[in-house]
Chain A
Amino acid sequence: MLTTIFYILSAITLATAFMTVLSRNPIHSAIYLVICFFSIAGHYAMFNAQFLAMVHLIVYSGAIMILMLFTIMMMNFNEQKIRKNNLIVVAAVIALCLVAYVLLATFLKAQPMIEQYVITGEDYQSIKVLGKVLLDDYLVPFEMAAVLLLTSMIGAVLLSKKDKKIKA
């Protein structure tokens, strides 16, 4: 049962990720990416990581995708120039194969380190426990994340503001 759900979700994740990369229209890419993010949230829900599943839905499928779609709609790509260099495609495919090879080799080599998985039965990922961990052990990084978000907000506003005419 769980295995079937896992395979279906993984198929959706990989297929939509590929379609994100391959589809010509950036808006289609964005919509495929939303589906991809939803399926990843499904993976999180399967791990019973409720907090992360919700945050993932809110942050990625909500905020980030809206931001991307707005940006795409602000720039109108009326003409899609197709002058793809064949060399780039070949190089990209070769790089993809090499990276996949290296990563798989690394992880397969690491396989013997993975022993049998044991369930201790203790609660470690409910929202209650996670909140305690976040605000006890990781309080300073948490506040730093707040400062980072504030800084990035100010930076985004400054960057996207129209340049004022410099008065002589």
Chain B
Amino acid sequence: MLQNILQEIGIENYIFLATALFCVGIFGVLYRRNAIVVFMSIEIMLNAVNLLLVAFSTYHQDAAGQVFVFFSMAVAAAEVAIGLAILVAIYRNLKSIDIDDLRNLKG
């Protein structure tokens, strides 16, 4: 049953789903001012791209796409660890992680 998933659903539906998910992520990055929620939106965007990579990996019947998703997950894990550490450091100094308050570099 799972062999013909793309015949039954169609790759274009996955393209539309990934596009919508990516746009939701972009909207979150632009709309929210809480830095942690901005982070979560970035995760949503990463996941949209991963989903599309897996879809095309199945489409081409090639394992390389899945290996790429694996690496992108590793990079995402590293990114989250560092980013949250930076957020904690910022919070310790400013007592806030509202991105509107992060204007020390503005001069």
Contact = CB atoms under 8 A, between A and B. Distances in A.
A92 B27 CA distance: 6
A29 B34 CA distance: 11
Contact of A60 (B22, B43, B87): B43
Main secondary structure of the interface of A (DSSP, over half): helix
A67 B73 contact: no
Given A49-B58, A117-B11, 12 more contacts: A14-B20, A14-B24, A21-B37, A44-B51, A49-B54, A51-B66, A88-B30, A103-B22, A107-B12, A124-B62, A152-B78, A159-B88
Given A37-B47, A52-B54, A155 B82 contact: yes
12 contacts: A17-B24, A21-B32, A29-B37, A29-B40, A33-B43, A49-B54, A68-B84, A92-B31, A93-B27, A145-B71, A148-B78, A151-B78
B105 interface: no
Interface residues of A, number: 81
A69 to B, nearest CB: 10
Interface residues of B, number: 74
A72 B47 contact: no
Interface string A114-149: 100101111011000110011001100100010011
Contact of B54 (A1, A14, A47, A157): A47
Contacts of B85: 155-157, 159-160
A34 to B, nearest CB: 10
